[in-house]
Structure 1
Amino acid sequence: MDLLDAAFNIVLGLILGTLGGLFGIGGGLIAIPVLGVLFGLDQQLAQGTALVMVVPNVLLAIRRYHQRNRINFHHAAALGISSFCFAIAGAAVAVSLDAGRMRIAFVGFLLALAAYTLLRVLLRPQVGSTELRYPWPWLGALGAGAGALGGLFGVGGAVLATPVLTSVFGTSQVIAQGLSLSLAAPSTGVTLVTYALHDQVDWALGVPLAIGGLLSISLGVKLAHALPERLLRLMFSGFLVLSAALLAFEV
């Protein structure tokens, strides 16, 4: 990889990092289809390479969200521990599946989440709370499901956890995004290791993306806390549709 390619990848990482901080997903959700479309990577390789950027992005984003809205340790631990355990199983399954079928499944998964998020905004507009509607141990079940899907699709489960936290547990969007990142941190780490052991990571491409992401993710977090709740949820739904559309080009 020459300097021009490296510079392009860093700039791409800057964009992905901003989006990752804005929506509390570390950038992996949009990075996976982008890597498939721009670089022709198959689904597993795109997911593994995206994780090189996602893991450090998630760790920094957690710190930034915690500085603005203190993340409850018990809530984060309940999500993170169960997510970690089930992400191992999800990642082990993912590396053995057909890449084309995985991409189709991922597109359907994103569209379903986008429709659900949009319907909630349009039909039942409400302001979320900083408190959980149900006792925090129930977060373990959410962490297990999100971790398994995160390991399978390489997105850390945050994309599933965020709408569930806002709808079922009644949190605000920014609180949900901060907790989702706490869930994503351990599961993305173990998922990256699993993909790397199966040679499903392009490190030369992933490292420049990670550099760019680390430089910009704080800006995304700042934007997330500046935007109105309803607008942020609408943008999150549109972001899911955009990601699904980009993936569909590769199906």
Structure 2
Amino acid sequence: MTEQKRYAILPLIAIGLVGGLLSGLFGIGGGVIIVPALVLLLVMPQRLAAGTSVAAILPAAVVGAISYAVQGNVDWTAGILLAVGIVIGSQVGALLLSKLPVGFLQWLFLGFLLVVIVSLWFVVPQRDSEISITVLTGAMLAVTGFLTGILSGLIGVGGGIIVVPVLMFFFGANDLVAKGTSLVMMIPGSLSGTLANWRRKNVDLRAAAAVGLAASAASPLGTIIAGTLAPSMSNILFSIFLVLIFTQMLVRLIRAKKN
């Protein structure tokens, strides 16, 4: 890539605003919105969109994490353990991004989403639930971060869509702590992944800055809305959101297979 295409600023800002709102509301990086939007609306190549999304996640994750932390909804120990794993995993994911077809992993990711969607209707976390940190759970958190980092680098998601339900269902976190901790984890993960993608020319920093700054402006509103929702309603909205993502990815994969 000798000369990088310059993408229109207004669509980038619009993508960032939507991604940032959802980032704050669900504790995700927004990559599941940003990547397909960059590809479909701006015709950005898939690999470049994935790398750009990882960079754009950073500002929204910082602002969102601060918003949740102010409300006391961050488990810092869990966040640090997840971050250690995701920093290493994102490097592996960025390396594989330039070498592997990601179709198989996308199908596995869809299977994971389907399990989460069903679980959200049956398991409702209590607001007073906390993560019990032991040697075993600490190691499991680091491994979770590592695997999330790999998928983050390959698919272009910040990892919250994986980590939030995992923290609730397997580690006993309530929904707000899961979201806040997830955003904390994404900060070093985004930095690590962006550095790796920049070295491999898989990121458009100008586009990432436009999307990321817009996302950071909208993220606090999402965190405020999240705090007003009952856990059951939060689960319902998250499951509907995941159904939309599942359907979108499934259609794209089927079309790619036909082509």
- Bin for the TM-score computed over the shorter chain: 0.7 to 0.9
Pairing of 1:134-213 with structure 2 (within 5 A): 135=134, 136-138=137-139, 139-213=141-215
Deviation at 1:144, TM superposition (A): 2.0
Pairing of 1:1-251 with structure 2 (within 5 A): 5-98=8-101, 102=102, 105-106=105-106, 108-109=108-109, 111-127=110-126, 129-133=128-132, 135=134, 136-138=137-139, 139-247=141-249, 248-249=251-252, 251=256
Deviation at 1:126, TM superposition (A): 4.7
Q: Between the two proteins, what is the percent identity of the paired residues?
A: 26
Q: Determine if contact 2:74/2:178 at 8 Å carries over to the other structure.
A: no
Deviation at 1:210, TM superposition (A): 1.7
Q: Determine if contact 1:26/1:61 at 8 Å carries over to the other structure.
A: no
Give the partner amino acid of 1:183: M
Q: Determine if contact 1:114/1:238 at 8 Å carries over to the other structure.
A: no
Q: Secondary structure at the match of 1:66?
A: helix
- Please give the root-mean-square deviation of Cα atoms over the aligned residues, in Å: 2.3
Give the partner amino acid of 1:117: V
**TM-score when normalising by structure 1:** 0.87
Q: Where does the alignment leave 5 or more consecutive residues of structure 2 unmatched?
A: none
Give the 3 Å change call, closer, same or farther, for CA 159–199 of structure 1 in structure 2.
Answer: same
The CA distance in 2 between the partners of 1:10 and 1:198, in whole Å, is: 25
Higher alpha-carbon deviation: 224-233 or 148-157? 148-157
The CA distance in 2 between the partners of 1:186 and 1:11, in whole Å, is: 25
Q: Deviations over 1:166-210 (max 9, x none)?
A: 001111111111111122211111111111211112233322212
Q: Determine if contact 2:54/2:153 at 8 Å carries over to the other structure.
A: no
Q: Secondary structure at the match of 1:123?
A: coil
Q: Determine if contact 2:30/2:158 at 8 Å carries over to the other structure.
A: no
Q: Determine if contact 2:51/2:153 at 8 Å carries over to the other structure.
A: no
Q: Determine if contact 1:85/1:147 at 8 Å carries over to the other structure.
A: yes
The CA distance in 1 between the partners of 2:196 and 2:182, in whole Å, is: 21
Give the 3 Å change call, closer, same or farther, for CA 124–81 of structure 1 in structure 2.
Answer: closer
Any runs of at least 4 consecutive aligned residues in structure 1 with deviations exceeding 6 A, and if so which? none
The CA distance in 1 between the partners of 2:125 and 2:67, in whole Å, is: 25
Q: Secondary structure at the match of 2:120?
A: helix
Residues matched between the structures, number: 246
Give the partner amino acid of 1:219: L
Q: Secondary structure at the match of 2:193?
A: helix
Q: Where does the alignment leave 5 or more consecutive residues of structure 1 unmatched?
A: none
The CA distance in 1 between the partners of 2:118 and 2:6, in whole Å, is: 46
Q: Secondary structure at the match of 2:172?
A: coil
Deviation at 1:85, TM superposition (A): 1.6
The CA distance in 2 between the partners of 1:34 and 1:19, in whole Å, is: 14
Give the partner amino acid of 2:81: A
